[in-house]
Chains A and B, each alone.
Chain A
Amino acid sequence: MILSRYLFIGILLLFAVGFAIAPLILVRLVAPARRGSFKQQTYECGVVTTGETWVRFRIQYYLFALLFIVFDIETVFLYPWAASYLNLGWFALIEMVVFLALLAVGLAYAWARGALRWL
């Protein structure tokens, strides 16, 4: 019974993919296709492109990414807690405050060590 509710989403997914692909096929039939070497070049403001794009790239925010994973999982834990919070009483509050405090200390530590500094 519960699964059949999710079937509606499955139907919508099929529709959505159809809505996305059908115009792409239609446009092949309707739109003109006149190829040219200039058209196919990479557009970088009219300047001839130099060097590769797919190079090794230092993503400056990888420390943010690590923190994100920690906090994202924490958020997921908080959802069931929040939804059933009123049935649980003071104990749930204290427990969650301890959990959040540990994470807040982690964030404060990362902040103090300069992980949140944009290089």
Chain B
Amino acid sequence: MTTIDLLGTFLKILIVVGISQGVVAYLILVERKIAAWAQDRIGPNRAGLELLDRPGFRRLAPLLRPLIGLGLLHPIADGVKMFVKEDVVPGYVNRPLYLLAPVLAITMATIAFAVVPFGPVGATGANFLGFGDVQFQIAPGIDIGILYVFAIGSLAVYGVILAGYSSNNKYSFLGAMRSSAQLISYELPLGLSILGIILICRSLDLNAIIHWQDRHVWGILVQPLGFLLFLISAFAETNRLPFDLPESEQELVGGFHTEYSALKFGMFFLGEYLHVITASFLITILFLGGWDIPFLTDQAQTGWFWALVKVFALLLKVGLLIILIMWVRWTLPRFRYDQLMDLAWKRMIPLALLNLVATATIVQLVRG
């Protein structure tokens, strides 16, 4: 590894982490706007309104008013609020674990992204100031990408469990217990459902899987059942409705993060949205062709133009998936606990095993 590689990595990390944290702030706004749209409300449109009365801002009013109306200043106000509100630590918590939990949650959410490609990798031809091809991935060349993402994804649950346990609050504790039950149920279909696509693409490397889909067809066409199982499990793994039982505001007052306030609460929130982003990237890469646009792109195309087209195609797919995830929240009600466990153990795991055996047989027949 040369100094240039190191500097490039620093730069990429700063850009990716910076952008993803900014994106999360605005995703919360998107989520609130979608919620408003689903419920026939207007949604956030106030933050910054009082600025218009300040003498210095009066001249900017025609410029600011449409931004305020769209709620575009809300994420900034939320961010500032996280920092300037009092950070209450209740008196009865287990302090070391209580402080460790949000740090763990956000660290795991961040490093899971290391092997996820956000554009073409390899001979991209997108030369950066003569230092070589830019790799659109933080840690390129790791050939067990999927295993790494799953390993880190399972560690993320420790943040939730430690938070629930250390809070010394019965609701939080229940939330943590539910979270671990959910993890042990949905980890299995999540892992089993992608074995079919691994088998077809012959690799655990996310780039190799994109390349296969680029040369042949998208994963969703050869693994429709696998896609469905993976999508459902991803909802459960990211604690999104209809599987948000660890939080369930109405019965557990927020579940594991009831006792967290101000910035520490914000860190859990950020971690959760980062998981949603990572999950959307994974679904796109495994089943929706990654950066591939059918009949238009292929791996041989190089240069900045094609690199940026591919990055844009990938981000567009990811964005649409995130909107789907938010949409589902307002479409499906929450599961009851036994239903959630039944769905995983009695439906999804047998289906995933069947899907694997069927795929293996068909692949062998087609080849032979």
Given contacts A24-B263, A32-B86, A53-B168, contact A100 B353 (CB under 8 A): yes
Contacts of B21 in A (CB 8 A): 19
Segment of B39-47, B55-63, B138-146 in the binding face: B138-146
Please give, as numbers and ranges, the residues of chain B lying within 8 Å of A5 by CB-CB distance. Answer: 139-142
A72-90: CB near B (< 8 Å → 1, else 0) gives 1001001100111111011
Q: Are A118 and B341 in contact (CB under 8 A)?
A: yes
Chain B residue at smallest Cβ distance from A117: B338
A8-B138, A82-B195 are contacts. A43–B258 as well, Cβ < 8 Å?
yes
In-complex Cβ contact of A61 among B83, B106, B167, B181 (8 A): B181
- Residue ID in chain A nearest B259 by CB atoms: A43
Question: What DSSP secondary structure best describes chain B's contact surface?
Answer: helix
Distance to closest chain A CB from B16 (angstroms): 9
Taking the closest CB of chain A, its distance from the CB of B98, in whole angstroms, is: 12
Contact of B338 among A17, A27, A82, A118 (CB under 8 A): A118
Chain B residues within 8 Å of chain A by Cβ, number? 81
Tell whether, in the assembled complex, residue A64 and residue B184 are in contact, meaning their CB atoms are under 8 Å apart. yes
Minimum CB distance partner of A50 in chain B: B170
Measured between beta carbons, the chain A residues less than 8 angstroms from B170 are: 44, 49, 53
Asked whether, in the complex, the Cβ of A9 is within 8 Å of the Cβ of B114, the reply is yes
Q: Is B299 an interface residue (CB 8 A)?
A: no
Contact mask for chain B residues 189-216; partner A; CB cutoff 8 A; 1 contact, 0 none: 0011001101100111000000000000
Residue among A13, A61, A65 with most chain B CB within 10 A: A61
Closest chain B CB from A85 CB (angstroms): 5
Residue of A nearest to B361 (CB): A93
Residues of A within 8 A of B25 (CB): none
Compute how far the CA of A37 lies from the CA of B88 in the bound complex, rounded to whole angstroms: 11
Q: Are A65 and B184 in contact (CB under 8 A)?
A: yes
Are the C-beta atoms of A85 and B349 separated by less than 8 Å? no
Residue contact B177 to A86, C-beta cutoff 8 Å? no
**Which residues on the B side are within 8 Å of A96 (C-beta)?**
357, 360
Give residues of chain B (306-363) contacting chain A, Cβ–Cβ below 8 Å.
Answer: 337-338, 341-342, 345-346, 349-350, 353, 356-357, 360-361, 363
Task: Report the 6 A-B pairs with minimum CB-CB distance, sorted nearest first.
Answer: A118-B338, A40-B91, A8-B139, A16-B110, A68-B184, A82-B199
Residues of B bordering A, CB below 8 Å: 1, 6, 9-10, 13, 17, 21, 82-92, 99, 102-103, 106-107, 110-111, 113-115, 138-142, 147-148, 165, 167-171, 173, 177, 181, 184-185, 187-188, 191-192, 195-196, 198-199, 202-204, 253, 258-259, 262-264, 267, 337-338, 341-342, 345-346, 349-350, 353, 356-357, 360-361, 363-364, 367-368
Instruction: Return 18 A-B CB contacts under 8 Å, by A number.
Output: A4-B1, A5-B140, A5-B141, A20-B106, A33-B86, A40-B88, A40-B89, A41-B91, A42-B167, A44-B169, A64-B185, A64-B345, A67-B345, A82-B196, A96-B357, A96-B360, A111-B346, A116-B345
New A-B pairs, 16, CB < 8 Å, besides A43-B253, A83-B203: A4-B1, A9-B148, A12-B138, A16-B110, A16-B111, A24-B103, A27-B87, A34-B86, A40-B88, A61-B184, A75-B192, A82-B356, A83-B202, A93-B360, A100-B356, A103-B353
